[in-house]
Amino acid sequence: MKVAIIKYNAGNVQSVFYALDRLGVSYYLTDDEAEIRSADKVILPGVGEASSTMRSLRERGLDRVIPTLKQPFLGTCVGLQLMCRHSEEGNTDCMGIFNIDVKRFPAGKGLKVPHVGWNTIFDYQTPLTQGLQEKDYVYFVHSYYAELSPYTTAKTDYAQPFSAMLQKDNFYAAQFHTEISGQAGSRILENFLKLG
């Protein structure tokens, strides 16, 4: 199996490498269109800010390539947000795979922004959560969230319910960091890698 990790202006891809190493999967980091298209699976990791990371994708032409991919594709954290239509972070137009907007958590309500740490996910409607228990814990670091929508395949509650996971066709996304979410995150990655 060939797994392409998309190379762009995202931090901490090393933790994605470690997670795939633990699963015994071979992978390569690339921004080359032909290499991405020939991969069996594609991962868009995410640590960063929406406008600068989106600009980096545009500079490489990847904003046009990604929405046309046919193999299973997984975006995590800001990767999920860039797959949406628009983000309030930097007033950024994104790729529009999911026809929804990304909004900043409201101030107040006694909750800190960013949302950092372990939180539960629930209402699973995706093959990626097979083998998880309802309300398993995963690890989040974000100030912006994707609203609930028909694409929502798992939810989390912080200030209000929001999309923890999204799916449309071959495109899957997780707001949390699968690669540092312990056994639950490892199982989600494993399930993604098993997709046909």
Which of these is catalytic: 35, 59, 77, 134? 77
Note whether 110 and 95 are within 8 A (CB).
no
Q: Examine the residue annotation and report whether 49 is marked as an active-site residue of this protein.
A: no
Radius of gyration of the chain (CA): 15
Q: Work out whether the CA dihedral 68, 69, 72, 77 comes out positive or negative.
A: negative
Question: What does residue 120 show for φ and ψ, rounded to 5 degrees?
Answer: -90, 155
Three-state DSSP at 130 gives coil
Q: Examine the residue annotation and report whether 84 is marked as an active-site residue of this protein.
A: no
Between CA 32 and CA 12 the distance in angstroms is 20
Which of these is catalytic: 84, 89, 94, 177? 177
Q: Examine the residue annotation and report whether 115 is marked as an active-site residue of this protein.
A: no
Which of these is catalytic: 35, 94, 179, 190? 179
Question: What does residue 41 show for φ and ψ, rounded to 5 degrees?
Answer: -140, 150
Spatial CB neighbours of 144, under 8 Å, sequence gap ≥ 6: 50, 81, 87, 88, 89, 102, 103, 104, 105
Residue entry with tokens 């028909």: 150
Catalytic positions are 77, 177, 179
